[in-house]
Amino acid sequence: MPKELADLAPQLLQKERATATFKTEACVDLVLGSKAWQARMDELRSLIEAHPVLSDRDMMYRNHKERYEVALAKSHAFVSFLEDHNITTPDEQQFVYYQLGEPLPIDVHRSMFIPTLETQMDDEQRAYWLPLARKAKILGAYAQTELGHGSNVQGIETTAIYDATTQEFVLHSPTLTSRKWWPGGLGKTANHAIVHARLHLGGKDRGVQAFLVPLRDMQTHAPLAGVSIGDIGPKIGFQSVDNGYCAFDHVRIPRRHMLMRFAKVLPNGDFVKPPTDKLVYFTMVRVRVFISYVCYRYMAFVVTIATRFSAARLQGYARGSKTDEVPVLAYENQQLTLFPLIGLSYAAMFTSRRLTSIYDSMVSALGGPMDAHKLDMLNQLHATSSGLKALLTTEVGNGMERARRACGGHGFSASSNIPHLMQEFIGACTYEGTFDVLVQQHGASLLKRLHKPTPSSSSSMDLFAYMRVDASSPCDAMTPEMLLEPSTLLRAFQVRALKTLLVADRHKASMHCISRASMGHAESVILQCFYDGVVAIHDTALRHAMRQLWQLYALWRMSEHLGEFRMDDYLSATQATWVTDGLLSLLPQLRPNAIALVDGFGLTDFELNSAIGRYDGDIYRALVARAAKEPLNQTDVVDGYHKYLQPILASKL
| Identical topology for domains 114-274 and 283-599 | no
- Across the range 380-390, mean pLDDT stands at 94
Which pLDDT value is given to residue 454?
64
DSSP state letters, 512-564:
HHHHHHHHHHHHHHHHHHHHHHHHT---HHHHHHHHHHHHHHHHHHHHHTHHH
Segment (H or E) for 338: helix 332-365
pTM score of the predicted model: 0.95
Which amino acid makes up residue 493?
F
| Confidence category of residue 6, pLDDT binned at 50, 70, 90 | confident
Binding residues for FAD: 145, 184
Active site residue 25: no
pLDDT in tens, 509-528: 899 999 999 999 999 999 99
Structural class in CATH, domain 114-274: mainly beta
- Give domain 283-599's CATH number out of 1.20.140.10, 1.10.3720.10, 1.10.645.10, 2.20.28.160: 1.20.140.10
Going by pLDDT thresholds of 50, 70 and 90, the confidence category of residue 229 is very high
The predicted structure's pLDDT at residue 246: 99
Q: Could you tell me if 354 and 293 are in contact, meaning their C-beta atoms sit under 8 angstroms apart?
A: no
Question: Is a pLDDT exceeding 50 seen at residue 458?
Answer: no
Tell me the torsion sign for CA atoms 63, 64, 68, 74. Answer: positive
| DSSP codes joined into one string, 175-202 | SGGGSEE--TTTTTT-SEEEEEEEEEET
Residue 139 has φ and ψ, to the nearest 5°, of -120, 125
Cβ atoms < 10 Å from Cβ of 509: 6
CA distance 233 to 595: 40
Asked if pLDDT for residue 3 goes beyond 80, the answer is no
306-318 confidence digits (pLDDT tens) = 999 999 999 988 7
Taking residues 129-146, report their average pLDDT.
97
Asked if pLDDT for residue 210 goes beyond 50, the answer is yes
Closest CA to 468 of 480, 478, 453, 481: 453
Tell me the per-residue pLDDT of 560-579, one tens digit each, with 9 for 90 and over: 999 999 999 999 999 999 99
Q: State percent of the chain over pLDDT 70.
A: 97
Q: Of 14, 2, 1, which is closest to residue 618 (Cα–Cα)?
A: 14
Query: With 90 as the cut, is the pLDDT of residue 456 above it?
Result: no
**DSSP structure string for 131-149:** HHHHTTSS-EEEE--BSS-
Q: What is the mean pLDDT of residues 75-79?
A: 98
Radius of gyration over every alpha carbon of the chain, rounded to an integer in angstroms: 27
525 closest CA partner among 565, 493, 487: 493
State the Cα–Cα distance between residues 522 and 463, nearest whole angstrom: 10
What does the pLDDT average to over 123-149? 97
Give CA separation, 316 vs 95, 118, 456, 562, 588, in Å: 41, 57, 56, 33, 19
Could you report the per-residue pLDDT of 12-40, keeping only the tens digit for each?
999 999 999 999 999 999 999 999 999 99
Q: Where are the chain's structural domains?
A: 114-274, 283-599
Tell me the pairing of strands 227-231 and 244-248: antiparallel
* Average pLDDT rounded to a whole number, residues 280-291: 83
Q: What is the pLDDT of residue 126?
A: 98
1 pLDDT band (50/70/90 cuts)?
very low
Catalytic-role residue among 395, 432, 523, 564: 432
What gap in Å lies between CA 517 and CA 510, rounded to an integer? 11
pLDDT at 319: 79
Confidence of residue 152 (pLDDT cuts 50, 70, 90): confident
Q: Are strands 159-163 and 192-201 parallel, antiparallel or unpaired?
A: parallel
pLDDT of 460 reads 47
Cβ(619)–Cβ(314) below 8 Å? no
Q: Which residues contact 350 (CB under 8 A, 6 or more apart)?
A: 529, 530, 532, 533, 534
Please state the rounded mean pLDDT for residues 433-441: 92
What integer pLDDT is reported at residue 2 of this predicted model? 56
| Alpha-carbon gap, residue 433 to 439, rounded angstroms | 9
Q: What is the mean pLDDT of the chain?
A: 94
